[in-house]
Amino acid sequence: MPKPEHPLISLVDYAELVAAKKHSEVNTIVADYYSISVKRDLREKMRYGQQSYDFDDGVMYFMAPGQVLQTTPVVDDMQPKPSGWILLIHPDFLWNTPLAAAIKRHEFFNYSVNEALFLSEKEELVLHNLIQNIRQEYQANIDRFSQSIIISQIETLLNYSERFYQRQFITRKIANHQVLDRVDKLLTDYFANDTLSQKGLPSVQYVADALNISASYLSGLLKVLTGQSTQQHIHDKLIEKAKEKLSTTDLSVSEIAYGLGFEHPQSFSKLFKTKTSLSPLEFRASFA
């Protein structure tokens, strides 16, 4: 990479990178900066967490400081020259600005590489224009306005990225509804098991791991499709099971609570009333 023109922020054009000596070793990167990238025809395979992704097509992805990325170069002289850009932002550049806290609320920084954002040409042009504004500003002479102007451009870029991710959740309906079906089946099978008292309630991370999807991406997808997070889906399935036991068995509320993985019956009763506006006993009485 070329020497950065700013100590805390850098914009790199992939087309201008000098290719390293060909090798096939896996390179592991743990960055201490935020990374926002649009890549096409990159001559390596990317691995993030347990997922591999092939960047032969143009996609956008995000990384936060401390995340681990592995790359394996692909030796193929027939491949087209890689293109795209990568924006590197050190957290210190955001210090004492609203974006320092706001950037952590963008869940796509916690998505896996295989959950990248696929951009339309129109969307990519919007982001390209913002990137050019950032490039122009940080290549100019630094003055007291420089940081604020660049920060505002980054904020706009992240907001557009949120919009484009919401679009992707909607436009990939078939694949996304298949995920929803898998969530429903997973939770149905889990709550059908009579060992809930030993296993406890399924966590959001358990559901995400079982589906091989990052927890943040799963919740974001479910919110768009259903208006509810993964945790709310877990609670809804729990309430379904609780209603079944209250209406078809003579088990006490405490026995039902323990059987559903609750350590304290009061926690179960509180959740049940929040979800149904009735206490467990009031619900049971409605079947009398």
Q: In this structure, are residues 18 and 60 in contact, taking their beta carbons and an 8 Å threshold? A: no
Percentage of the chain beyond pLDDT 90 is 28
Average pLDDT over residues 249-278: 90
71-98 confidence digits (pLDDT tens): 665 555 555 677 888 899 999 999 889 9
Q: What is the pLDDT of residue 274?
A: 92
pTM of the model: 0.62
Average pLDDT over residues 42-62: 56
158-214 confidence digits (pLDDT tens): 999 999 988 887 777 666 778 888 898 899 888 887 767 778 888 999 999 998 888
| CA distance linking residue 248 with residue 246, whole number of Å | 6
Q: What is the pLDDT of residue 50?
A: 41
Average pLDDT, the chain: 81
- Of the pLDDT bands very low, low, confident and very high (cuts 50, 70, 90), residue 23 is low
DSSP element (H, E) containing 161 = helix 146-171
Contact residues for 147 (Cβ-Cβ < 8 A; gap 6+): 93, 97
Percentage of the chain beyond pLDDT 70 is 80
Residue 112 tokens, joined: 């896996």
- How would you class 119 by CB atoms within 10 Å of its CB: exposed for 0-12, middle for 13-18, buried for 19 or more? buried
Higher-confidence position of 286 and 45: 286
Rg of the chain, C-alpha, whole Å: 24
